[in-house]
A and B are shown apart, each in its own frame.
Chain A
Amino acid sequence: MITAGTDLTGGADGLVAVMEAQGDVYRALLGLAASEQGAIVEGDVSRLTEIVRLKEELYDHLRALETERMTALVAIEAATGIAPDRATVSEIASQLPSEHATTLLRSGRELRAQAVALEEAQTANARLLEQSRALVDRWLQYLRTLLAGSVYTPDGVTPSLPGGRALDRSA
């Protein structure tokens, strides 16, 4: 854990550790995104629900890591004056000894690559979900029309629909 009293290199090391941990979580999320795409396309809602649950857990973990990242940035701010909400990896690296700067920049590149891949996968899935929801909404509307038509007829009877079991709407 990094504290406000840590020196610059210590703060940077802490930041690198957090970014590496974030990278691990993004990798895991990327793997889930691939499974999520399969679940969406196959219409496997139970699998999708399980994936969403796992993503929620990883999201909570990411939030905790985000708090740690901010703590590291606050420590760096104390040593450099760079405000945490405007700090960039390259700016921090420019004030670090070469060895530490290299490590931080490499971690930054790796994390960015992970984040870009995840964002791409998420964008693809979001489009799939949007498309799927639109289709489902359209079908729900159609099915509701069909089912409503079967509940009331001009002569007041409520014939059951053919095709197997039907929900009891008598209550």
Chain B
Amino acid sequence: MAISVGLNSVTRALLAQQQAMDAVAHNVSNVNTPGYSRQVVRLAAVGPGDTGVGNGVQIEGIERIRDMFVDFQMRAEAHAAGEYGARASSLQMAELALGEPGDTGLMAAMDGFFNAWRDLANSPGESASRSAVVQAGETLAFSARRLARTFTDIRTDADTRIASAVNEVNAIGREVAALNQRIIIVRATGDPAADLTDQRDLALDRLSQLSDIRVMQHDDGHVDVFVGGRALVQGNRVNEMVPVRNPANSDYIDLTWASDGAPVKIASGEIGGLLQQRDVDLPARFADLDTLITQIMTDVNTVHATGFALDGVTTGLSFFTGTGIADIAVDGALAADLRLLAAGGAAAAPGDGSGATAIARLQEAANLTAGNETYGAFYSGVTTRLGVAVRDAKRLAESQALTISHLEQLRQSVAGVNLDEEMVNMVQFQRGYQAASQVIQKINEMLDELFRMV
């Protein structure tokens, strides 16, 4: 090997090694950067020149250590996690609103109401008992209306969160499009644009929590992002989602594509979970509660209308006014004149309490679910189903969080920078280099001895 060839090869090798160490420096300085992927210098042997002797190594490129399969899995699990998280959160709020079992829940209000009628049946003439019935009726009505308001609030909250999430989706879409453009330009210069790609991956990770997305990678480095079969990002262009108020759905927002106004189809992710809660799960549970309250109103009003007031003349009065859970109230006339309560069963016996007894007995009547369930049983079913749904949603959310955590660890083991690992590697390098130096020195001493003779 000629000395010049040897020196060239050494110089090239040293430069290569310096760049490799620079990559380590970059890794270490980004140890706390979210989404950062470890970078390594890819070295390649330089082919032999005229002398036939190898020319050492040179930098072939810088690689970003990333497992695309883990990324794919991570995003697939992330939108499920987002969906379950959103569902668990909304359902839990609904469960808290019911407040069961407890003294302030609807069950206690129903019990109080029918017990008051029972008491009135025992003493139909006493104004205290009549007052207690009106009070219990107002408590029941108030509890029902409060539930209705709370359910509406939860749906409105979900709607607000959807609007906010859509803003974030659009912002991320714009970010991804801008990064696409920069990545294409940088890669055209031969630079792998590793840091920009990390930044874009981080944005895509967040996007996958918000919505179910499909990412298509192209050879020039850019990605297209699809939501529900439509492109959110194509190269450097963004087709944003536009929230449009829908008067037919309580003025909540519908999502449409800016390009043509077509509806956005989001099945999963945080937005998917919130849409499902706002438009399906919560309305279904609200409808159950409305059915219960409406049934109570109808039944009580029907029986009350057949009874007689204390004057033995007045009859045909309703106890409750309103159309359902949202506006149920005790008839103001009854509250103003307690004697109008129809506790009597007949005009001739306005004080016999049989009217009150008939209303009290409604509590045991199976008037719901096609004559199979009492009010209490029906309501228990509602609360139990909600409780199960909350537990399921929480369990799924926790399970997804665990899966995400596992995938994150997998990703870290591939792409993450670990200072301890770098330290261990460095110590190994140090020892290896030391041992190699010692052997070189010993052999050189022997060569010196030989050179004295030859």
Chain A residues at the B interface, C-beta cutoff of 8 Å: 19, 22, 29, 34, 36-38, 40-43, 45, 48-49, 51-52, 55-56, 59, 62-63, 66, 69, 85, 87-89, 108-109, 111-112, 115, 117-122, 124-133, 135-137, 139-140, 142-144, 146-147, 150, 161-167
CA–CA, A66 and B13, complex, Å: 34
B241 within 8 A of A: no
* CB–CB B440/A143 < 8 A: no
CA–CA, A55 and B429, complex, Å: 18
Which residue of A has the minimal Cβ distance to B435?
Answer: A52
* CB–CB A147/B439 < 8 A: no
* CB–CB B429/A43 < 8 A: yes
| Residues of chain B lying within 8 A (CB to CB) of residue A45 | 425, 428-429, 431-432
* CB–CB B436/A48 < 8 A: yes
Which residue of B has the minimal Cβ distance to A44?
Answer: B432
13 chain-A/chain-B pairs, Cβ below 8 angstroms: A34-B54, A41-B16, A52-B432, A52-B436, A89-B454, A118-B443, A120-B1, A128-B13, A129-B436, A131-B14, A143-B426, A146-B31, A167-B420
B336 within 8 A of A: no
| Residues of chain A lying within 8 A (CB to CB) of residue B450 | 22, 111, 115
* CB–CB B447/A117 < 8 A: no
CA–CA, A125 and B57, complex, Å: 13
Q: Using known A-B contacts A49-B432, A112-B451, A112-B454, determine if residue A140 contacts B426 with beta carbons closer than 8 Å.
A: yes
| Residues of chain B lying within 8 A (CB to CB) of residue A62 | 443, 446
Tell which of B20-28, B166-174, B279-287 binds the partner. Answer: B20-28
* CB–CB A126/B32 < 8 A: no
* CB–CB B418/A163 < 8 A: yes
| Residues of chain B lying within 8 A (CB to CB) of residue A85 | 452
* CB–CB B435/A49 < 8 A: yes
Q: Using known A-B contacts A124-B9, A140-B427, A143-B419, determine if residue A132 contacts B433 with beta carbons closer than 8 Å.
A: yes
| Residues of chain B lying within 8 A (CB to CB) of residue A165 | 413, 418, 420-421
Q: Which of A89, A135, A139 contacts B18 (CB 8 A)?
A: A135
Which residue of A has the minimal Cβ distance to B442?
Answer: A59
Interface of A, secondary structure class, is helix
| Residues of chain B lying within 8 A (CB to CB) of residue A144 | 423
B96 within 8 A of A: no
CB distance from B282 to the nearest CB of A (A): 38
Q: Which of B54, B434, B439 contacts A133 (CB 8 A)?
A: B434
| Residues of chain A lying within 8 A (CB to CB) of residue B431 | 45
| Residues of chain B lying within 8 A (CB to CB) of residue A55 | 439, 443
Chain B residues at the A interface, C-beta cutoff of 8 Å: 1, 3, 6-7, 9-10, 13-14, 16-18, 20-21, 24-25, 28, 31-32, 43, 45, 54, 56-57, 409, 412-413, 416-423, 425-437, 439-444, 446-447, 449-454
Q: Using known A-B contacts A37-B9, A165-B421, determine if residue A48 contacts B432 with beta carbons closer than 8 Å.
A: yes
* CB–CB A120/B6 < 8 A: yes
Q: Which of A37, A112, A135, A146 contacts B21 (CB 8 A)?
A: A135
Which residue of A has the minimal Cβ distance to B2?
Answer: A120
* CB–CB B32/A162 < 8 A: yes
Q: A115-B451, A139-B422 are in contact. List 5 more A-B contacts (CB 8 A).
A: A42-B43, A133-B437, A139-B426, A143-B28, A167-B420
Q: Which of B7, B13, B433 contacts A136 (CB 8 A)?
A: B433
Q: Which of B3, B432, B440, B453 contacts A122 (CB 8 A)?
A: B440
3 smallest CB-CB distances across A and B, nearest first, come from A45-B432, A164-B416, A164-B412
CA–CA, A115 and B443, complex, Å: 10
CA–CA, A136 and B437, complex, Å: 14
| Residues of chain B lying within 8 A (CB to CB) of residue A130 | 437
Which residue of B has the minimal Cβ distance to A140?
Answer: B426
CA–CA, A89 and B432, complex, Å: 37
Q: Which of B9, B25, B416, B429 contacts A163 (CB 8 A)?
A: B416
* CB–CB A41/B17 < 8 A: yes
CA–CA, A19 and B449, complex, Å: 13
CA–CA, A115 and B17, complex, Å: 27
* CB–CB B429/A136 < 8 A: yes
| Residues of chain B lying within 8 A (CB to CB) of residue A132 | 17, 429, 433
* CB–CB B32/A147 < 8 A: no
CA–CA, A161 and B451, complex, Å: 54
Q: Which of B10, B18, B57 contacts A42 (CB 8 A)?
A: B57
Which residue of B has the minimal Cβ distance to A110?
Answer: B454
CA–CA, A40 and B440, complex, Å: 13
| Residues of chain B lying within 8 A (CB to CB) of residue A22 | 450
Q: Using known A-B contacts A52-B436, A139-B21, determine if residue A127 contacts B426 with beta carbons closer than 8 Å.
A: no
Which residue of B has the minimal Cβ distance to A56?
Answer: B439
* CB–CB B446/A66 < 8 A: yes
* CB–CB A66/B449 < 8 A: yes
Which residue of B has the minimal Cβ distance to A36?
Answer: B436
| Residues of chain A lying within 8 A (CB to CB) of residue B428 | 45
CA–CA, A73 and B359, complex, Å: 128
* CB–CB A59/B436 < 8 A: no
| Residues of chain B lying within 8 A (CB to CB) of residue A63 | 446
Q: Which of A52, A112, A131, A146 contacts B419 (CB 8 A)?
A: A146
CA–CA, A142 and B451, complex, Å: 43
* CB–CB A163/B31 < 8 A: yes
* CB–CB A88/B453 < 8 A: yes
* CB–CB B13/A126 < 8 A: no
CA–CA, A42 and B13, complex, Å: 9
* CB–CB B32/A131 < 8 A: no
CB distance from A161 to the nearest CB of B (A): 5
| Residues of chain A lying within 8 A (CB to CB) of residue B18 | 135
CA–CA, A164 and B447, complex, Å: 48
Q: Using known A-B contacts A34-B54, A135-B17, determine if residue A52 contacts B447 with beta carbons closer than 8 Å.
A: no
| Residues of chain B lying within 8 A (CB to CB) of residue A135 | 17-18, 21
| Residues of chain A lying within 8 A (CB to CB) of residue B1 | 117, 120-121
